Amino acid sequence: MADKRITQYISPGAWALVDPLFSDRARSILTTLIDFQDVLPSEALFHAQLAPHGPERWASVPTVMDQLKGRAKELGLWNLWLSGGDFQGMAGGEGGGLTNLEYAVMAEVMGHSLVLAPQATNCSAPDTGNMEVLARFGTPEQKQKYLVPLLKGEIRSSFSMTEVAVASSDATNLKNTTARVEGNQVVLSGHKWWISGAGDPRNAVHIVLCVTDPGNASPHKRHSLVLVEPKMKGVKIVRPMTVFGYDDAPEGHCEVIYDNVRLGVDSVVGGKAGLGRGFEIIQARLGPGRLHHCMRSIGVASRALDLLLQRVSDPARRTFGKYLREHGTVLADIANSRAEIDQARLLVLSAARQIDLHGAKAALKEIGIAKFTVPQMALRVIDRAMQVHGAEGISQDTPLAAFYAGVRTLRFADGPDEVHVQQIGKQELKRVEILQAREAAVKRKAAALIKEAGLAKAKL
């Protein structure tokens, strides 16, 4: 029965809530995706095909990836994140047509194989966000040139925003990359880093945030996005940044210098009319992407818990005559992990549902809560899984340490936890007025009731 396979991934309680909100088609895609989980056996091959070091590590992508992409397309597991609208009628843009709620469940399942599944289904960051930008704000030429091959999975892309020595969580700080408009040309210069995917040999376009109108009175109208191809003169990939020692080849998170790169003004996203709209566009890009990261992180946490359960049941790992799973603290780790994963999933699902009903803006509180709670939750679960694995848990022989490193980045990406915490706190405070009015009414009525009854408060 389909449900049994689904509830091996999504807790029965969560499924009971969302099942009525799933279309038959979505339910069918979901079970196909679950079966496609034989991406898992390809992980070892992927790592074996990757050169261990040196320039060749960045020169090609393990061939297994293309095989998986082909298979995903055949199975109809392609561009599932695409919700239609902006992509209709576009070559390669058939996509999933799923609701955010439906896609949330898919993304969690993909998270079990974080390295392969999202890319194999063309659902991986930063491409998905970049495709949205191009679809909503690109010119027809830009769509033809970059969006169509991205939708087909033929090329990859980067979003080039973070600057060296600058607190990027306040994006108005970003001013060290400039694009000087000279007639029909734009000359781009700047120094960026943490540009995900910039090491990838398939990368064909960077969407670069840069200052085009430094004198504009509004700090939110000074920036534009320009499209740069990595093969252009002046684009220099300096080095991959490492994440807890990992280089995440062949994609990488690179330091990049744009040294007087000359572009046509038609390289500005949206063309000339796009000048000064950088901020507006990146705002639009962030909402759903944040949730996608959360969804996948829950899948990562689930896989970590699955590994934990297996490890503590391994007869070879008994200590002092006991299975690890017989230890009270291990049972507590398991129960707490289960409880935390289940709660986080429900939170993300409720945010996705909220987007479906009322749009991303109305769901800002739900998305923000998910943004700062889910990665922290996943890190706790992964850490418990590492701990029961002993040293093996932090080595190359399990995926756990790489999971930890990957999820750890989400506590800063798109703004550190602290920023989101403060924003949620402030949003919640907006309820105060209603509460105060209600409380005042309660107090008035309470006083009247006490008086009417001829009573007073207790004394010594």
Q: Which of residues 191-250 bind its own copies (CB under 8 A)?
A: 194, 199, 237-247
Options 349, 360, 381, 382; binder of its own copies; rule CB under 8 A: 349
Q: Examine residue 435 and tell whether it contacts its own copies (CB under 8 A).
A: yes
Number of residues that bind its own copies (CB under 8 A): 147
Residues contacting 440, CB < 8 A, separation 6+? none
Task: Classify each residue of 222-245 as buried b or exposed e, where b means 16 or more C-beta atoms within 10 Å of its C-beta.
Answer: bbbbbbbbbeeeebebeebbebee
- Please tell me the distance from the alpha carbon of residue 434 to that of residue 119, in angstroms, as a whole number: 46
- Please tell me the distance from the alpha carbon of residue 133 to that of residue 57, in angstroms, as a whole number: 30
Positions 356 through 385 that interact with its own copies (CB under 8 A): 356-358, 362-363, 365-366, 369, 372-373
Q: Under a CB-based contact definition with an 8 Å cutoff, are residues 49 and 62 in contact? A: yes
Q: Examine residue 426 and tell whether it contacts its own copies (CB under 8 A).
A: yes
Q: Under a CB-based contact definition with an 8 Å cutoff, are residues 86 and 137 in contact? A: no
Nearer to its own copies, 181 or 364 (CB): 364
- Please tell me the distance from the alpha carbon of residue 438 to that of residue 35, in angstroms, as a whole number: 53
Q: Examine residue 418 and tell whether it contacts its own copies (CB under 8 A).
A: yes
Q: Binding string, 39-68, against its own copies, x = CB under 8 A? A: -xxxxxx-xxx--xxxx--x-----x----
Positions 251 through 270 that interact with its own copies (CB under 8 A): 252-254
Q: Under a CB-based contact definition with an 8 Å cutoff, are residues 358 and 350 in contact? A: no
Asked if residue 126 has a cis previous peptide bond (ω within 30° of 0), the answer is yes
Nearer to its own copies, 290 or 325 (CB): 325
- Please tell me the distance from the alpha carbon of residue 435 to that of residue 423, in angstroms, as a whole number: 19
Options 6, 18, 72, 106; binder of its own copies; rule CB under 8 A: 18
Q: Examine residue 297 and tell whether it contacts its own copies (CB under 8 A).
A: no
- Please tell me the distance from the alpha carbon of residue 125 to that of residue 348, in angstroms, as a whole number: 18
Options 104, 324, 381, 382; binder of its own copies; rule CB under 8 A: 324
* Smallest distance from its own copies to CB 75, Å: 17
* Smallest distance from its own copies to CB 129, Å: 17
* Smallest distance from its own copies to CB 109, Å: 13
Nearer to its own copies, 152 or 202 (CB): 202
* Smallest distance from its own copies to CB 152, Å: 25
* Smallest distance from its own copies to CB 433, Å: 9
* Smallest distance from its own copies to CB 182, Å: 29
* Smallest distance from its own copies to CB 334, Å: 4
Nearer to its own copies, 203 or 267 (CB): 203
Burial of 124 (0-12, 13-18, 19+ CB in 10 A): buried
Q: Which two tokens stand for residue 195?
A: 């540009």
Positions 88 through 147 that interact with its own copies (CB under 8 A): none
Q: How many CB atoms lie within 10 A of CB 5?
A: 12
